[in-house]
Amino acid sequence: MDQLTIETYTTAASDFAAEWRAQPVPTDMYKLLRQFFVPGGKTADIGCGAGRDVAWLNDNGFPTVGYDASRGLLDQAVAFFPHLEFKRTVLPKLDEIEDGTFDNVLCETVIMHLPPVQIGDACVRLLDILKPGGVLYLTWRVSEGNNLRDQSGRLYSAFRVSLVADHLRNATILLNDEAFNQSSGKRVHRIVAKRC
């Protein structure tokens, strides 16, 4: 994952956590998770940030572990949700997670922080940590043109949907569309895939 992005999230973790807590609840995403995720299935939130979605998943019958690359964001998550489980891991390798561990994987607006050359490997790895029949919910912020960094230093990679879809060959695509994220208000691409 892009090191400057991780450092940015770590340095300003409390500011990002406050910003995300002030955003509207992502009811659109939660509806899709209820629709597609394996009910009661062991779940990973890869790039969990300050833990909001980990809390929702646990409260709604999906026992979930939150993972993030930023130690600062993990500290925020633990502070707000001390009864939940959070661990550090970094895309694309996710070295700390064994293959076939989870029934469901959420990766919400994370892969656009990877250099494009790592995105395919990240998609393969997100499928690898699923059990056969497990479900991946994957989104990324849509960027036009070239890769860019925002004012805080976060990388936003621009890439085609085919870069992701071509690396989900070991899965059945259940949803593949673009929408405005109800929480952030940003345009995102969403893919739901079931591992074969």
Packing angle, helices 13-22 and 3-11, rounded to 10: 80
Q: Is the pTM of this model over 0.95?
A: yes
What 8-state DSSP symbol labels residue 103?
A: E
In the three-class reduction of DSSP (H, G, I as helix; E, B as strand; rest coil), residue 132 is classed as strand
pLDDT beyond 90 at 142: yes
Residue 68: closest CA among 101, 23, 109, 34? 109
**Digit-coded pLDDT (tens) for 74-121:** 999 999 999 999 999 999 999 999 999 999 999 999 999 999 999 999
* pLDDT tens per residue, range 31-71: 999 999 999 999 999 999 999 999 999 999 999 999 999 99
Inform me whether the pLDDT recorded for 181 exceeds 90: yes
User: Percent of the chain beyond pLDDT 70?
Assistant: 100
Helix or strand (DSSP H, E) at 75: helix 71-80
| CA dihedral of residues 70, 116, 165, 90 (deg, nearest 10) | -20
Q: Does the structure show a pLDDT above 90 at 187?
A: yes
pLDDT of residue 3 exceeding 90, the answer is yes
As a whole number, the mean pLDDT across the chain is 97
Query: DSSP 3-state assignment of 191?
Result: strand
- The residues spanned by each domain of the chain are 3-36+47-195
Strands 187-195 and 171-180: antiparallel
- Which of 194, 196, 65 is CA-nearest to residue 136? 194
pLDDT at 195 over 90: yes
Tell me which fold the domain 3-36+47-195 belongs to: Rossmann fold (3.40.50)
Binned at pLDDT 50, 70 and 90, residue 150 comes out as very high
pLDDT band at 144 (very low <50, low <70, confident <90, very high): confident
Q: Is residue 170 predicted with pLDDT exceeding 90?
A: yes
